[in-house]
Structure 1
Amino acid sequence: MNTRAFPVELLIWLSALLFFAISPFQHLNLDLCLLKNLGFSWCPGCGLGHSIVSLLHGNIRQSFQQHWFGLPAVIILTHRIWILSNNFRKSYSNNKTK
């Protein structure tokens, strides 16, 4: 395994949060929920993406109204990004000194 390779998971999470943060589509209210598009009336994750976008744009009340798990999701993703970036930094610096 090449420990110097940039972790793909880190790239995915960073890209997702960056896209949500600069999303020009916030006002369009696009719905990409597979279950909703298949005709189901309820989905446990519906509104989570909208909630994260609202939170990253500073609309905390609106975020909580769209889905209660938006804030915990951002905290979890931020923590995961922190862990992955620290692991990458440590492995890169260890390999550089060898």
Structure 2
Amino acid sequence: MRLKQQLLQFMKRNIYLTEAVLWVAGIVALALMQPEGDHLFSLCPLSWMGFDFCPGCGLGHAVSFLLHGQWQASWQAHPLGLPALVLLLRRSINLVRWHFAFHLKPTSKQTYTHG
């Protein structure tokens, strides 16, 4: 039980940094995948429910194509690939900044004396 409490405390203290690491790990995974390869599985809940249309379909491939420098293929996979990548990078940067701003903030008031 103590380990669970310690893990929860760690997550609360580092929630911003944890989210940033997860977003960056996702971007790295998209950079390492071969976007023109076979579609092995889908993380899309609409696909799992049998729907043929999903507004986000192709977004991961679009970002992966972008990270491989294939701009036209990215646009064809999903036109919002570039904005998605920019938003994810911006979010990750902000999360890291918020994490360090929170942890570098003084915890107690410091009194200054002249002299």
The answer for unaligned runs of 5 or more in structure 2 is 1-8, 110-115
Matches within 5 A, 1:2-81: 4-5=13-14, 7=16, 8-23=18-33, 25-30=34-39, 31-32=41-42, 33-81=44-92
- How many Å separate the matches in 1 of 2:45 and 2:95? 29
**Alignment partner of 1:44: what SS?**
coil
CA RMSD of aligned residues (A): 2.7
Give every structure 1 segment of 4 or more consecutive aligned residues whose post-TM-superposition deviation is greater than 6 Å: none
Would you say how many aligned residue pairs link Structure 1 and Structure 2? Answer: 97
The answer for unaligned runs of 5 or more in structure 1 is none
Aligned match of 2:3 = none
Normalised to the residue count of structure 1, the TM-score between the two structures is 0.79
Calculate percent identity across the aligned residue pairs: 32
Larger gyration radius, structure 1 or structure 2:
2
